[in-house]
Each structure stands twice: as structure tokens, then as C-alpha cells.
Amino acid sequence: MTDRDIILSLGGIAKSFGEKPALVHVNLDVARGEVHVICGENGAGKSTLMNILAGIHQPSAGSLVLNGRTVTIADPIAASRLGIGMVHQHFTLVPSMTVAENIFLGRQPRRFAILSDGQAMVERAAELIARYNFRLDPEAPVRTLSVGQRQRVEILKALAFDAELLILDEPTAVLTPPEVDELIGVVDGLRSKGRTVLFITHKLREVKAVSDRVTVIRHGRSVSTHRTADVTEADIARDMVGRDVFLVGRKSGGMRVIGDAVLALDRVTMTNHAGRRLLDRVSFEVRAGEVFGIAGVDGNGQTELAEAVAGLMPVQAGTIRFGERDMTVASVPARQAAGLGYVPEDRLDRGLSVTMSVAENVAAANYGRAGLVRNGLVSQSRLATFADDKIREFDVRGAQPATPAGWLSGGNMQKLVIARELERQPSLLLICQPTRGLDIGASEFVYKRILDAADRGAGVLLISSELSEIFALSDRIGVMYSGRLMGVLDRADADEGRVGVLMNGGAEQAA
Amino acid sequence: MTASLLDVLRAIRAPVAAILLTLAIGFLLVASITDEPVRAYRDLLFANFDSLSNFALFLNRATPLTLIALGVVFAFRAGIFNVGGEGQLYAGAITTTVIGIAGASMPAIVLFPLALLGGIAAGAVVGWVPGVLKVRLAVDEVVTTLMLNIIVLLITSWLANQVIRDTTAYGAVSWMVPETIWLPPMPLVPRATSGFLVAVVLAFASWVVLFRTRWGAEVRAAGTNLRFAEATGVPAARRVITAMVVAGGLAGLAGSLYVLGVGHRFEQNFSPAYGLVGLTCALLARTHPIGALATALFYAMMLNGAAYMQISTDVPRSLVNLLTGLLVLLMTARLVRAARHA
């Protein structure tokens, strides 16, 4: 590879925030016209690196060479002038404006210097769309578009600036599997048009599907760069974590015995104040010893389903049974007593009180069962011992019993929530988005705990928008769309194609 | 042991620094007003301890402040910004007075608990209302507690002026309650109310309840993250309401003890805004019960000391208001800085 082929070269980039180093030493060469994936765990420094390229942060040390010239990128405007276009994870579009207006927002073609030339704008947008084969209507308002289409508008916004180097920051986080496939097609198209794409992700499957080369970042250092074709997913995972990763699967243990239903929902319906159905006649059973996975794009009723089962939101119709007992209107403590363990989707919202101590967070709901109250007072020594045990058992790093829970990292907070809920040996474990924001190491731990619970005989209701973990853990998979359970598939019959179609509401095509 | 001592020192370092800085700035102000700044400051800080009677007045001042601050601590720990201490205080004071006057023929053994519990209950009711409104209807508690203050004050004013007014006395004061139900003075300090002992005991009891019982843990869970509390099975709404009942009850007790132990009658102007000062005490103590006892004592010292200072020198007692504002400012500045670094 000659120097002329390198569009971007980073040498020894470092960045600290206060005393905390986010990047220690990153080297990166991006060749012209390639799709280069930056891969790393949460907190490895990917976002910081991208923000340096986008001109949002300035590096503390290191050199940045673009097209053979050493540059400093003072701000995002300078970045776009240098031909670097950034597509953020969260979209920055105006829903009420059309595709064309969004693409040219702030730099509309002008007629007589001041009048905006709508006709020219639509034509230029149509031309851009045609050149990249994006299948978008330039005059459609953005609010009518799907998430995948909106993302393509974002990409066009960057391309309209003549970005040579396009940075996509975790672009698949918000997409359904069919949309991910489409995006991969879009990226292929960009490559064939000679654009260079820097693609940030921590999902191994995408690395293999999309990239020419992959650079792995760990703890703020670039640890390896490979031609994607030369490495396996396991190789990349090992670089990301720094050791061999045990990618657990449901198939591993054969000791599980599927028993009677521990949870049965019958036509459960929940409506909001406006009368819209958040849950629409949802019926299913979770049996002892099985993991029942609920897949779906966020916001299709999964949160409401979890709150209904946990007893935190009332349902308007239908019944919820724990085993034989009707628990439709039972209180949360009654459900806990009946065997419910509940790991909510957002640990900062329902999972923890961040200002209270680790000990008090892990003891909540367990005071009686764990024998922490003596003569009406909470025994401080028992509380500390209990918390210490849980910290050790669940490997909660950086925690002392008296540490405020908010001081822990996301993964360790999640372990704390799981430690609390598993303490009661629940017969029904309701666990939502269990690895959201967690790195591979912590995810591995959480998966193991979920499978252990099922092996012990608990019924597990797993709700996740992360399809890979639904597939890895579930015995049966239910798919939710718009408040309805679109279908239930046995793990053996389920593949990403069928589940993906159901996730988009297409029951007919799947059948 | 040394480690926990260090922890305590670290915890009080900032408030102590804020107090010292406030006093230093105050001294410069005093020096610019009077020729005798040292004398003025000595009176402000130490005249409370010149005589047993001064000391008694100091304790009498500290009693309602401590109790109201404790009430505010309970409310805050449950996540409620209770600005209603004044109304709860007045409700307690007027109820005790009315019961005391109406039941004058009853034996003390019946009347005393009746008057005391009546005062506590009246304060509790005034605390309960905003608690329920907050939890059930999401009505902002700052508005409801503030408005209830006005309502209660006007009702007490009407009662004191029209119904139970002592027609032989000057000003808006009620008839005296029977001497049989007066609180005995504190041992060794003849003119101090033994209500102060009650306040001290309750400060420590509040700490135990809030930090050493399951109920306290549940109140704090509800106060720091209501949705977390719900998810872990805490009847969060009930805990919040109960905490407000306790808050109102403590302020009601403050009013009741004032009538039984100090005033022996209801006086329309008996409170120099105890409600607001108690609130400040609780906040400066970072809503810690023992800390609230300490800040209440400090405020009582300043409030009374200012009067002595005004008598002996020409420094107006309103200097204390200025120092109070300064202290709040410095404490807040510290908090904001800590928050940004976190």
C-alpha cells in the first residue's frame, strides 16, 4: 500500500478528560475506498476517537494526517470542510421537513442570493438519491419515513457536503435485521462509488458482513488491525476483551427439564389515556426451566408487557397467572412472594437508587428473607456481610457495601440488580434488556446467570431488542409488534429472517 | 475508629468552613458599622452563655427549630420539598391551646396528653394534605405547603382574635392554658423548657428510624427514586404520605411544646418564621437529623445573640439575616462545585 492510498492516518492519538485517559495510544490507517470497522467494547474509546475526527474533541497528543497533510480539526465545520462526514447514532433531522429540505438544511440552493430555490433543491436531492441508489422520495416529509430510511437521509446529508470519508457511529443500534441488511447494502454501494467508510460497531456479525479491514480498540489503545477475511468472530472478540471469550449458547447444557407454566398471560390488554392499545390481547406461557424470549424493536409494547407482569402498570383486560394463581391485580410484594424476580430494562430508572449505598440497593426487597432485621432495626453487620457476599458472588467490581451505587459502571450496576433479584431464587425471572450498555465480559456473566436460573428450574421471560441474545438464550421466541404478539417460534424453527419479518409486523409473509 | 473519625471530619469540613467564612465576612461588616466590633461579635456569639437565663432562652429558641428541621428532614428524605413547617407549627400550637382552654376542667392526667397529641395530630393533618395531593394527583408540594401556611395562619389569627382572645391582655393572644398542664422546666436550667430534651431525643430517634430501620430505608428509596422503590415492592406512595405525616407531626409537636412549655398560651406572633429557619437548618445539615440538631442550635445562638448585640452596641439585629443569606450562599456554592466535579 503506498502513501497515496492512505486517506487518513492516525499516529499515537491520546486523549484524557481530566485525569482519566479515554485514549492512550491509537494508530490507525484508513485506505482510500475501503470500509474500515472500528470495533471495541463499551468504554474502549471508540466514541472519543470518532469525536476527535469529527472535530468535537481535540487530541491531547498524536498526529492526524489526512490526504498526506497533517491537519488539526478545530470544530465540526472544519471537519466537513476537510471532507469528513459524520452520521451520529441519534439522528439530527427535522421531522416536519421533507427529505430534500433536511439534506440541504442551512445551505439551500439560492436564487437571487436570498430566495430559497425549492425546485433546484429537489432536483439536486433526487440526483444524489439516484447516484447512490437510495430509493427515497425527495419530497416526502421525514416524519413519514422509517428509521432505516431516516438513517439514509442522514448519510445523504453527509454526502451532500462531498464527504470523502464517512463515519457511521453505531449505525445499526436502532435498526431491525432487515434494515441492517439494507444498510450493509448501502455501505457496499458507497464503497463501489469510491467513498471511504469508517464504521463503528461492537457487533461481531456486522464486522464480518460489512468491512474490508477491522481495527480493534481496547482500553484506549489500538490493539490490532486485520483484513476481515483473515479473522474469525472469535479472533475479534478475543482482541476486544483481551482473553478468550466463552460465547454461551442455549444448546450447551442438556440438563433442563421443561415443567408446568409458571407464568400465563391470557389476552392481556393495556390502553393508554388516549385509548391507544399498548398491549393488544397478548397471550403466552412461560414454563419452568425454559427461557422465553421476547424479540421486537424497542417501543412495541415490551416495556408495558414487563410492567404488567411486574405489577407496576394495571391492565384493562385479560388475566396474568403465576402458576395456578391469578395475579392480575396483585401487588408487587405479593408477586415477589409468589416467586417473581424482576430485572428492569433501565437500571437507572427502576433498577437502582444511585444515591443509596450498594448494600441498601442489594438489600431492598430482601430485608426479611435475608434476615437483615433484628428487633426492628436493620443489623448493620448483617447488612454489610450480606452485601459483601453478593459483591463477591456476582463479581461487582469497585464496590464496597457503603459505596453509592451510582459510582459503579453500568455493567457493575447491572450485576447489582441481578444479584438482588436472584437472591430470592425466583421461580419466574423477568429480565429486560439484560446486557444493554454492557461489554462482552459482563454480558457473558449475565448470560450465564440467566441460563443458570433456567437450569435451576425457573421460568425466564427474557425481553430484549438485541436479537443475538434472544437467539443465544431462548428456547422459544415470541415477537412483538405494535403491542401484539405476532407469533411464537421454537428456537429450532426461528431464524433472523422469520423473526425479522415479524418484527416489522409482517405476519402474512412469515406464514 | 480513627477512620470513622476522619470520615466525620471530612463530612463537616465544608459546612464548618462555610460558617467560619460567613463569620469572618460578617466581622468585616460589623467593623465598618461600629467602633466596637469585637464587643458586638462577642455578644452575638457568646452572650447566650453569659447567664443561666440567657442560656434558657437559647434552649427555648432551639427547641422549635430542631423539631421543625427534623420534620423537614423526614419530608426531604421522602422526596418532598416541605415548605409548610410554619403552618404545621401554628396548627399544633393553636390546637393544643384550644384543647387546653376548652378542657380546663379536666384532670391534668387526661388533659395534658389530649392537648399534646391534639397538637401533634393537627400538624400531621396539615402535613398529610400536601402529601396525598402530591402522590395521588401530582400537585406540586411547594405550592400546596406554602398555601396551607397562609390558610392555617389566617385561621389561627381568627381564632386568636375572635374566639379565644384574652380580653384582659394586650395584643392577639389567647387565654392561658391551665397551669396544671404546663411542662416542667428543665432540670438545672429553671427557665428553659424541658421540651428541648424531647427535641434532642427525637433527633437521635429520627436518625435511628431513617437510617437503621427498614421503614427508613423504604422512605429514602421512595425519596431518591420513586420508580425504583415501586419496582422493589415498596409501597412508595404510602411511605411518602407517612413521611409527610411525620414531618407535620414534628412541627405540630414544636407548636404544642411551645404553648405547654414556654408561652402557656397562643400568641399570634410567637414564631419569627420558625418554619423557614427550620427549613434552612435542615438544608444546611444536608437533611441529616443529628446535623439538623447542630444547625438548629447554631441558628438559635445567632438569633438570640443578635438581640444582645443590638442592645449592647449599635449594630442592628438584622445583621443576622444578612449572615444567614451569606451562609446559604456559601453552602450552595460549595454544593454546586461538588456536583460539577462528580
Domain annotation covers residue A347? no
Interface contact A330, partner B, CB < 8 A: no
User: Given pLDDT bands bounded at 50, 70 and 90, which one contains residue A4?
Assistant: low
In terms of domains, do A169 and A236 share one?
yes
Yes or no: say if B70 and B292 are a contact pair by the CB < 8 Å rule. yes
Verify whether the Cβ–Cβ distance B212 to A365 is below 8 Å: no
Interface contact B208, partner A, CB < 8 A: yes
For residue B224, the chain A residues in CB contact (below 8 A) are 353-356
Q: Which residues of A105-125 are buried (b: 16+ CB within 10 A; e: fewer)?
A: eeebeeeeeeeeebeebbebb
In terms of domains, do A234 and A285 share one?
no
pLDDT, chain A, mean: 86
Residues β-bridged to residue A282:
A268
Domain annotation covers residue A392? no
The CA distance from A422 to the nearest CA of chain B, in Å, is 13
Q: Is the pLDDT of residue A196 over 80?
A: yes
Q: Is the pLDDT of residue A476 over 50?
A: yes
Q: Which residues of A142-160 are buried (b: 16+ CB within 10 A; e: fewer)?
A: beebeebbbbbbbbbbbbb
In terms of domains, do A230 and A280 share one?
no
pLDDT digits (tens, 9 = 90+) for A211-242: 899 999 988 889 999 999 998 888 888 888 77
Domain annotation covers residue A246? no
Q: Is the pLDDT of residue A510 over 80?
A: no
Tell me which residue range forms the domain holding A187. Answer: 3-241
For residue A335, the chain B residues in CB contact (below 8 A) are 233
Residue A511 pLDDT: 41
In terms of domains, do A161 and A291 share one?
no
In terms of domains, do A159 and A212 share one?
yes
Residue A254 pLDDT: 52
Residues A343, A417: Cα–Cα separation, whole Å: 6
Q: Is the pLDDT of residue A124 over 60?
A: yes
Domain annotation covers residue A54? yes
Task: Tell me the Cα Rg of chain B.
Answer: 21
In terms of domains, do A323 and A202 share one?
no
Residues 266-325 of chain B with CB under 8 A from chain A are none
Residues A391, A373: Cα–Cα separation, whole Å: 20
In terms of domains, do A202 and A311 share one?
no
Residues 299-328 of chain A with CB under 8 A from chain B are 310, 312
Q: Is the dihedral of CA A343, A344, A347, A352 positive or negative?
A: negative
Q: Is the pLDDT of residue A243 over 60?
A: yes
Complex-level ipTM: 0.84
Domain annotation covers residue A359? no
User: Given pLDDT bands bounded at 50, 70 and 90, which one contains residue A110?
Assistant: low
Residue A51 pLDDT: 87
In terms of domains, do A184 and A266 share one?
no
Interface contact B225, partner A, CB < 8 A: yes
User: Given pLDDT bands bounded at 50, 70 and 90, which one contains residue A28?
Assistant: very high
Domain annotation covers residue A390? no
The closest CB to that of A350, out of B217, B220, B228, belongs to B228
Residue B113 pLDDT: 96
pLDDT digits (tens, 9 = 90+) for A77-98: 888 888 888 888 777 888 888 8
In terms of domains, do A182 and A307 share one?
no
Domain annotation covers residue A216? yes
Interface contact A333, partner B, CB < 8 A: yes
Verify whether the Cβ–Cβ distance A350 to B230 is below 8 Å: yes
Residues β-bridged to residue A481:
A484
Low-confidence stretches of chain B (pLDDT < 50) are: 1, 336-342
Residue A495 pLDDT: 85
Domains of chain B: 37-186+193-333 (1.10.3470)
A155: domain CATH number?
Answer: 3.40.50.300
Domain annotation covers residue A271? yes
Give the A:B interface size as CB pairs under 8 Å: 66
Q: Map A440-475 to HEC letters.
A: HHHHHHHHHHHHHHHHHCCEEEEECCCHHHHHHHCC
The CA distance from B228 to the nearest CA of chain A, in Å, is 4
Residues B327, B335: Cα–Cα separation, whole Å: 12
Interface contact B233, partner A, CB < 8 A: yes
- Parallel, antiparallel or unpaired: strands A35-40 and A213-218: parallel
In terms of domains, do A274 and A222 share one?
no
The closest CB to that of A344, out of B217, B221, B231, belongs to B231
**Of B78, B43, B108, which is closest to residue B240 (Cα–Cα)?**
B78
Verify whether the Cβ–Cβ distance A351 to B212 is below 8 Å: no
**Of A308, A304, A341, A272, which is closest to residue A480 (Cα–Cα)?**
A304
Q: Is the pLDDT of residue A47 over 90?
A: no
Residue B150 pLDDT: 96
The closest CB to that of A356, out of B221, B227, B230, belongs to B221
In terms of domains, do A134 and A228 share one?
yes
> How many distinct structural domains can be found in chain A?
2
Residue to mutate among B7, B220, B227, B232, with most A CBs inside 10 A, is: B232
Q: What angle do CA A298, A302, A304 make, to 5 degrees?
A: 120
Model confidence pTM above 0.80: no
Residue B338 pLDDT: 47
Q: Which residues contact B242 (CB under 8 A, 6 or more apart)?
A: B131, B219
End-to-end CA distance of chain B: 28
Residue B7 pLDDT: 67
Which of A241, A271, A294 lies at the terminal end of a domain, its last residue?
Answer: A241
Interface contact B213, partner A, CB < 8 A: yes
In terms of domains, do A64 and A191 share one?
yes
Which of A209, A241, A273 lies at the terminal end of a domain, its last residue?
Answer: A241
Verify whether the Cβ–Cβ distance B221 to A364 is below 8 Å: yes
For the record, the C-alpha cell of B204 comes out as: 437521635
For B76, half-sphere exposure in the C-beta direction (CA atoms, 13 angstrom radius) is 21
Q: Is the pLDDT of residue A244 over 80?
A: no
Q: Is the pLDDT of residue A249 over 80?
A: no
For the record, the C-alpha cell of A77 comes out as: 465545520
pLDDT digits (tens, 9 = 90+) for A133-148: 778 888 889 888 887 7
Percent of chain A predicted with pLDDT > 70: 93
